[in-house]
Amino acid sequence: MISILGGELLSSLGAGEERIAALRNGRAAPDTIAVEAFADQPLFPYYLIDNSSRVARADHIEEYLQNVTENLFSRQFSGSSPPANTGVFLGSSSIDYSLTRPIEQIIDGLDPGKLPGNRVGGGFYADRIMQRFGLSGPSLTYNTACTSSINAFMDAAAMLECRVIDYALVMGLELSLPVIVEGFALMQLLSPDVLRPFGQKRNGMILGEAVSAVLLCRSDTRSSNWHYLGGESCCEIHSVAGSDPGGKGIAQVIRQSLSDAQVSPSELTALKAHGTGGELMDLAEMRGMEMAFTDIPDYFSLKPYIGHTLGGCGLAELVLLMECVDNGFIPATPHAEPLDEQFTSPPVRTNMDVTHGRFMLNYFGFGGNNTSCILEKTKP
């Protein structure tokens, strides 16, 4: 069995008690960001980690990744070094953060000089973390749209099961880049005001930033109350731009996840939905849940709290879920009322008292990427 030893998260919600209070009280307010490439430079809500430094996000990537890793390692290894045989698994919707600056400089006719690590591109940041913390296990960087970091998490578990490594550092990374905001704005997928998962008045998603880290090991190495039970990742070939609104692909991955984890639907304490607030995406997700379950479990979305953190959402939402349950609750889903009339089952309306149980986490993205996994927290 795979133990989840702990997690760290940088997001718009701040840290520690401030973050838990926001989740408990259903309060989270996004900043705004201007899409400068549009003639009228419209403002869109955006959940930013730090709204004082939005100019050069890419310059902060290493700092953010190092911070979450340092905090995690210092808590888990009490100040001593992590074992060298630790693998690094990083998921992001952009493998090209490290390419952006040198490419822009060359386009502008400037010499980027000697590049850090002598090369940029896929795997750059995972390699920097390996070097910074003296890790020598294998590393992989995942780019599977909104399922990137949860796929990294699940493959890290497989690497542990195969005894290739003793510990796995899994990281999720998503920071605002102009091209990301412009792309989603252009496709008219962004809400101008509020993220309303499964709501009748939902009008799109709100993007967010998140940098997260989770430490895993086999349960025979170290024990924890949190475990990864299993999951599945599938490719739905309906459309490159989204899931089949009929829900077939989503139902398939949910069923396979339950089967892999050997968990029956009735054993699920709650389900963390993808819940983007997108019209078709929420429809597909609801149809998928209706097909997969006779009775849909209590479900909730965390995106009204930190926004849609794209490739980083897998791990960021996993960390938030663990923190909430460790603090005795599952948060209500704000702004979901009134519920879409087509849906029979609303998301969690008020905080649920939960201290342990089995939790399904679902993620769906561009490129037909569907992933579902199940975690368990045993009684404290």
Partner 1 sequence: MIFIHAAGIHNTMPRERQPDLAEELHTLTGKIYRRTDHFIQLAILGAHKAAGTRELPAQTAIYLTSGQGNISVFTRICEQRRQHNLLPKPVDFINLLSNSAGFYVASHLALDGKNLFVTHHHFPAQMALLAAQNDLRLGRQKMVLLGGVDEWIPRQELARKLLGVSPSTQLGEGSNWLLLNSEEKNALATVEVHPQLLSSSLLAALLSYAPRNTSLIFSHRFDREAVSGFMRRYPQCRLFSPEEDSGYYETHPLFTLSSFLRQEKGRLIHIDTDGNQYMIVTLANDLL
Q: Note the residues at the interface with partner 1 (CB under 8 A).
A: 37-38, 85, 93-96, 99-100, 102-104, 106-108, 112, 115, 117-124, 126-127, 136-145, 151, 155, 158-159, 161-162, 164, 178-180, 182-184, 186-187, 232-237, 240-241, 249, 252, 310, 365-369
User: Residue 239 Cβ, how far from partner 1 at the closest point, in Å?
Assistant: 9
Whose Cβ is closer to partner 1: residue 184's or residue 228's?
Answer: 184
Give the span between the Cα atoms of 195 and 49, in whole angstroms: 18
Q: How many Cα atoms are found within 13 Å in the side-chain-facing hemisphere of 239?
A: 11
Asked if residues 127 and 87 have their Cβ atoms less than 8 Å apart, the reply is no
Choose between 165 and 352: whose C-beta lies nearer to partner 1: 165
**Residues found in the chain:** 380
Find the shortest distance in angstroms from Cβ 310 to partner 1: 7
Secondary element (H or E) of residue 250: helix 248-261
Residues 30/307, Cβ–Cβ less than 8 Å:
yes
Q: How far is the CB of 121 from partner 1 (least distance, A)?
A: 4
Supply the minimum distance, in Å, between the C-beta of residue 36 and partner 1.
9
State the nearest-atom distance from the C-beta of 102 to partner 1, in Å.
6
C-alpha angle 143/148/151, rounded to 5°? Answer: 120
Largest CA distance in the chain: 61
Q: Among residues 11 and 98, whose Cβ is nearest to partner 1?
A: 98
The nearer residue to partner 1, 36 or 50, going by C-beta atoms, is 36
- Shortest Å distance, C-beta 66 to partner 1: 16
CB of 146 closer than 8 Å to CB of 365: yes
Number of Cβ atoms within 10 Å of the Cβ of 349: 14
